[in-house]
A and B are shown apart, each in its own frame.
Chain A
Amino acid sequence: MIKLYDFHGGIHLPGKKSLSNNTPIQQLACSKRLVLPLQMHIGEPARPEVGVGEHVGKGQRLARPDGFISAAIHAPTSGTVVAIESLPIPHPSGLSAPCIVIEADGEDRWEKPFEPWDDYQSHTPLEIRQRLRDAGVVGLGGAVFPTAAKLAVPPDRPIKTLILNGAECEPYITCDDRVMRERADQIIEGGRILLHASGAERCLIGVEDNKPEAIASLQAAIKAAEDTRFEVVAVPTRYPAGGERQLILTLTGIEIPRNRHATDYGLLCQNVATAASVYRAVVLGEPVISRVVTVTGEGINRPGNFEVRIGTPISDVIAAAGGYKSGVDRLLMGGPMMGFALADDTVPVVKATNCLLALHPQDREPEQPPMPCIRCGQCAEACPVNLLPQQLYWYSRAKDLDRTREYHIFDCIECGVCAAVCPAHIPLVQYFRFAKTEIWASERERLKANKARERHKFHQERIAREKAEREAMLAKKRAALAAKQTNQSQTGSDKSAIKDEIAAAMARVKARKAAAQTKKASEPAQVGSPTYTESEKP
């Protein structure tokens, strides 16, 4: 057993996991119409490479990754691309985004984009990374960060330890639990592939100790695989034990600051379900076209876990779970702590959809009007990042954004623990999100203002330079004139010579003016790039 470390704060929440974790994962029938948002991952949206009307096979790539941090999207079934358009996606603000819509043909015919690699060890880490990128493998724990991008570490910072996150600390959610129980062999195989691809020496699998079946199943799979590099570690059940940085601290004692990555410390952290999809992508050659979704809550008739094709309308998933009970008034994607409420259940399941949670009003704490903060400090005691939420609240409310930064607002992981313990019922997380967006906005304003200031400075400099040049030219001319004059006065014929000189100069000026006028008329002045006529050039 390895030594476990403790993270600050955290709270015990009623798990409510038994609602959904007692039945095996069920396969959900394919829906008639699947909607695949082009951005289901962190990073750049994928770029479509099919056209409307095109017939696609199951597993065929629909959109390729665009940029380093991006992931491919594949057809979850065979059918026809009927539209590529902006449609509502699961989003806290109910936004729409570009999606590929597929009408299933009912045949569900595979067209595997890759060959299976039974012997993944004969492939280089780079090839495996490329495969994961092509197969659209992203973190399935909820962050949906492209796995290939996470694996790409500079050679001078090798990965030493792989951490598989099976903590699943949010209430209600059990999809990882079921995957660990039923597909432990896939997780371990995926883990071995990740070890090979990252060069790590060992793999720690962190599972909250309220999931003994999952732990036993993983241990059996490790035994069967006869791989001593793996170790399953039961971590204390305490929200947010499954936060990446909290789990890393618990397992290794390393605290990773917010502006650094786990890979900077020789650590690679992946969700257990992601490891299983790594196995499927590499060994079976299957891209990510489905995921396990927990459908649960007191407002669902038959809660359980379902293998759902990406793009399936959420209403179909709910229907498979027996539909809503009457009186349901909230549908959440994700858990009650960090999930968000959906306005509509017609939006599709995406790669981030780990849980669909339907609740009655009585399943939640009754909403109470907020009181003033009494600085009792319970939030600070519960904060897993050791912030002072009471102070952050004070300064966020006062819009004292500089102070919120001094109190490390950007270290907040928005886990919701502070709001969950607040006796004044203050929606603290909302205040912190507000302060963060205000700071981002003012940062953008500042950058804009800086640019404008630079532009102005350049403009002033240019004007000064032109003036100096003009003066230098005049001075030169004056000097030349003076020299001529002295020459002429020596020869004696002075006055008429000067008159001639003046007449000549005036003629020159007239000619130059005329030339400038015609120039101006012929081409409109370009702002910012001064143009000189031939005669004006110094």
Chain B
Amino acid sequence: MRFETDISPLVGSQNSISAIMRRVIWALIPGTALAVVILGWGVLTNVLLAVVAAVFFEAVMLFLRQRPVGFYLGDYSAVVAGWILGLCLPTLAPWWIPIVASGFAIVLGKQLFGGLGYNPFNPAMVGYVVMLVSFPKQMTFWAAPWGTDGIRLNFTESLRWTFFEELPSHLQFDAVTMATPLDAVRTRLSLGDESMAYIEQQSIFGLLAGQGSEWVALAFLAGGLWMIYKKIIRWHIPVAMLGALAIIATVFWLIDADRYGSPLFHLLAGGTMLGAFFVATDPISSSTTERGRLIFGAGVGILAYLIRSFGSYVDGVAFAVLLMNMAVPLIDYYTQPKVFGHKSQPKTASNKTSKGQ
């Protein structure tokens, strides 16, 4: 009897990339839902617009690159990139912001490098940073979160603003926007005469960090912990990033608590939690060795703090991730694990040749 032949191993993986990406989406849902409630309907429109645009651009690029469109769309990586990008964008951004951002993320950040698996930079962060640099004004349009003294838009008002830039006649634009906690700290500290303790009495500040947004951050933390439990991501990058950020924040805070935010504030403000669990852990653009991931995570944490505290941008997580993405090949090369048998070469080792057998 004759048979077909095959090459071992014949045991294949039940796991798949689309299963991994679907789980990332599951982990994003609690934080996203809470963000919609607390930060406003703009989060929902941002995420939906960014996801739809990301999938659209992905499909167009796959078609142009003559790749099987359905096969690659099924990996859900474009959905994840769009979703994370949507969460980063300001809640009162006009409709074209998430679409253009997704375009840059998918076309420039991902497909032009060769698509899934070949992008050296985190696509969502590429899209975000391009918008931040190109449209600095629109990228500050944050609505007043729940629990502050700002005015909040309802669903239809929010939609009208997003698509037509129309506010209810009795409202001024300034009345519905509010500086983010990080922004508030930066501007007020730059004035020079207000201390952190004073600044934190504003309504934008809550119990731990930003009013409301601190709970969103905790929801992302929970989603991230679930992903670690499910082995979708490894602990190294989030722990190293949050640990390094906490340490450097503590050092400056101990030096001058009036001019530097507390470590808890830094951990829960801005994009820290989303970045630590959903952005910096992107396996494609981050380090792939265990020690490398610790270095990568710590680098992101420290750079994010330095940019936040001393740079000219409000939050530094996106820049920090992109900067560390650049260092990944170097980090990976120098953090290779010790291969079996290379740890304890006996002194009598005579055969040191690296020749193939």
Contacts and interface: CB of A to CB of B under 8 A. Distances in A.
Interface in A458-491: none
Contact of B17 (A344, A371, A429): A371
A273 to B, nearest CB: 21
Interface stretch (A136-144, A187-195, A419-427, A517-525): A419-427
B11 A336 contact: yes
Given A375-B284, A421-B13, A425-B12, A380 B5 contact: no
Interface of A: 7-8, 13, 92, 94, 171, 245, 249, 254-260, 264-265, 315, 324, 328-332, 334, 336-345, 359, 364-369, 371-378, 380, 384-388, 390-391, 405, 407-408, 410-411, 416, 419-425, 427, 429-430, 436, 439-440, 443
B283 A330 contact: no
A409 to B, nearest CB: 8
Contacts of B117: 371-375, 424
A371 B75 contact: yes
A13 B10 CA distance: 12
Contact of A420 (B13, B116, B231, B343): B13
A330 B10 contact: yes
Nearest to A339: B8
Contacts, number: 194
Contact of A423 (B20, B234, B355): B20
B340 interface: yes
A368 B11 CA distance: 12
B198 interface: no
Interface in B281-300: 283-284, 286, 288-289
B357 interface: yes
Interface string B69-98: 001000101000000000000000000000
Interface of B: 1-17, 19-20, 71, 75, 77, 114-118, 231, 234, 283-284, 286, 288-289, 332, 336-346, 348-349, 351-357
A424 B17 contact: yes
B217 to A, nearest CB: 25
Contact of A419 (B5, B12, B336): B12
Given A257-B349, A378-B231, 12 more contacts: A341-B4, A341-B10, A365-B11, A368-B16, A374-B283, A405-B356, A407-B336, A410-B357, A420-B13, A425-B13, A429-B9, A430-B7
27 contacts: A8-B340, A92-B7, A245-B341, A256-B341, A260-B349, A265-B346, A337-B11, A341-B10, A344-B3, A345-B3, A365-B13, A372-B114, A372-B118, A374-B116, A375-B288, A377-B234, A377-B283, A380-B288, A386-B337, A388-B332, A420-B12, A420-B13, A422-B13, A423-B15, A423-B17, A436-B356, A440-B357
Contacts of B20: 374, 376, 423
Nearest to A361: B4
Contacts of A341: 3-8, 10
Contacts of B12: 364-368, 419-420, 425
A298 to B, nearest CB: 12
A391 B288 contact: yes
Contact of B71 (A330, A369, A376, A427): A369
Most buried by B among A259, A265, A328, A339: A259
Given A245-B341, A265-B346, A416 B284 contact: no
B345 A257 contact: yes
Contacts of A369: 71
Nearest to B352: A259
B341 A92 contact: no
A344 B3 CA distance: 6
Nearest to A338: B8
Contacts of B332: 388, 391
Most buried by B among A337, A359, A376, A387: A376
A248 to B, nearest CB: 10
Given A255-B340, A345-B3, A374-B116, A388 B288 contact: yes
B65 to A, nearest CB: 13
Contacts of B337: 380, 386, 388
Given A343-B2, A344-B2, A374-B116, A260 B341 contact: yes
A435 to B, nearest CB: 10
B216 to A, nearest CB: 27
Nearest to B1: A345
A315 B1 contact: yes
Given A255-B344, A324-B1, A391-B288, A364 B11 contact: yes
Contact of B288 (A13, A377, A424): A377
A440 B2 contact: no
Contacts of A342: 3, 5
A405 B187 CA distance: 53
A259 B351 contact: yes
A371 B67 CA distance: 12
Contacts of A387: 339
A340 B7 contact: yes
Nearest to A424: B17
Nearest to B328: A375
Contacts of B8: 332, 334, 336-341, 416, 429
A267 to B, nearest CB: 12
